[in-house]
């Protein structure tokens, strides 16, 4: 060793300074890892949202799933809300649903809000209501074509009720009617029409409010036949926009492309839902030979009617 070379002396060990340095290192490492994780999560979320919302997927999600949900739940007044909420693995929108009751009485239970979700690959998840709702109206629609609610039985029920009661009822035709034949049933023009007979299950139904792009204002001033024709045209337009790959999701709503295409192409009306009819009018309707029977779902006093 060179005697002229200065000797370096090590500083005394300082435990406090060492601990501070270790803590600073840990904090810097944790901050860096956290920043990377946040950046990855943000990129995944924004990237997933961009992928899921590409093109017209948001609007189409409401068009297909929102409309199918309304057909799945003919016993409810349903509103499709703004779309869409996204996560890295799914996209969803909300709907409000209130059970349909006879007009003029208490509104009954307040409406509820539900979420309809499809995964990253476009498959819809668990659905609320539908076959599990088990309402009087959905049961009445499922009774189409069965031996339940026969005319003689319904006559006896109607005979026990006051003339002025408002009713929610399903009028079932003996044979399906073409659009030009609906003029004999004026209430059918503004009602939810039934486009198939499906004993034991919910049939396909449609009205002006079923597809949100079908604006009610378009029907102002039209005759009965033209109103019904316009609703059928909207139904056919909606079915026409469906694609083969939608069939898997439609089956979750107890629907299928084949049934929808047949019902829209045939355009035959098997009955209609009326929430403004009185018991007196139902007694008259049930005697019409074109009416197979009437399925009574609800009755109420109109609290604002002084009669």
> Phi then psi for 173, rounded to 5 degrees?
-80, 150
Segment 139-160 shows an average pLDDT of: 93
Peptide bond between residue 46 and the one before it cis (omega within 30 degrees of 0): no
Q: Quick one: tokens of 241?
A: 């926009």
Give the SS3 label for residue 223.
coil
Residue 39 has pLDDT above 70, yes or no: no
pLDDT tens sequence across 157-172? 999 999 989 999 999 9
Please enumerate in sequence order all residues whose Cβ is within 8 A of that of 188, keeping only pairs 6 or more positions apart, or say none: 171, 182, 224, 228, 269, 272, 274
Question: Cα separations (Å) of 69 from 101, 113, 136, 198, 218?
Answer: 19, 13, 18, 18, 23
Cα–Cα distance between 211 and 214 in angstroms, integer?
6
Residue 28 has pLDDT above 90, yes or no: no
Return the pLDDT at 13: 55
Q: Does 122 or 307 have the greater pLDDT score?
A: 122
Return the pLDDT at 188: 80
pTM of the model: 0.78
Return the pLDDT at 49: 47
Cα–Cα distance between 65 and 246 in angstroms, integer?
9
The edge-to-edge listing of strands for the beta sheet with 269-278 is 205-206, 192-194, 269-278, 166-177, 291-300
Cβ–Cβ < 8 Å for 228, 189: yes
């Amino acid at each position: 060793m060179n005697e002229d070379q200065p000797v370096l002396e090590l500083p005394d060990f300082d435990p406090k300074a060492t601990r501070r340095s270790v803590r600073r290192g840990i904090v810097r490492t944790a901050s860096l890892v956290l920043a990377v994780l946040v950046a990855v999560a943000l990129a995944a979320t924004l990237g997933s949202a961009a992928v899921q919302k590409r093109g017209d997927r948001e609007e189409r999600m409401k068009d297909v799933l929102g409309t199918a949900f309304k057909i799945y739940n003919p016993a409810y007044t349903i509103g499709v809300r703004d779309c869409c909420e996204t996560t890295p693995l799914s996209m969803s929108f909300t709907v409000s649903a209130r059970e349909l009751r006879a007009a003029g009485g208490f509104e009954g239970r307040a409406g509820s809000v539900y979420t309809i979700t499809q995964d990253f690959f476009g498959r819809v998840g668990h659905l609320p209501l539908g076959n599990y709702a088990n309402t009087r109206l959905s049961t009445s629609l499922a009774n189409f074509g069965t031996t339940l609610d026969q005319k003689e039985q319904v006559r006896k029920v109607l005979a026990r009720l006051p003339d002025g009661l408002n009713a929610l009822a399903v009028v079932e035709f003996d044979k399906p009617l073409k659009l030009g034949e609906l003029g004999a049933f004026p209430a059918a023009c503004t009602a939810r029409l039934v486009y198939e007979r499906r004993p034991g299950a919910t049939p396909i139904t449609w009205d002006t409010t079923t597809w949100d792009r079908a604006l009610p204002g378009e029907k102002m001033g039209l005759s009965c036949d033209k109103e019904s024709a316009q609703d059928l045209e909207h139904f056919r337009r909606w079915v026409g926009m469906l694609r083969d790959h939608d069939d898997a999701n439609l089956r979750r709503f107890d629907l299928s492309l084949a049934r929808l295409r047949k019902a829209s192409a045939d355009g035959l009306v098997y009955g209609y839902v009326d929430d403004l009819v009185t018991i007196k009018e139902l007694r008259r309707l049930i005697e019409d030979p074109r009416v197979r029977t009437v399925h009574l779902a609800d009755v109420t006093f109109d609290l604002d009617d002084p009669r």
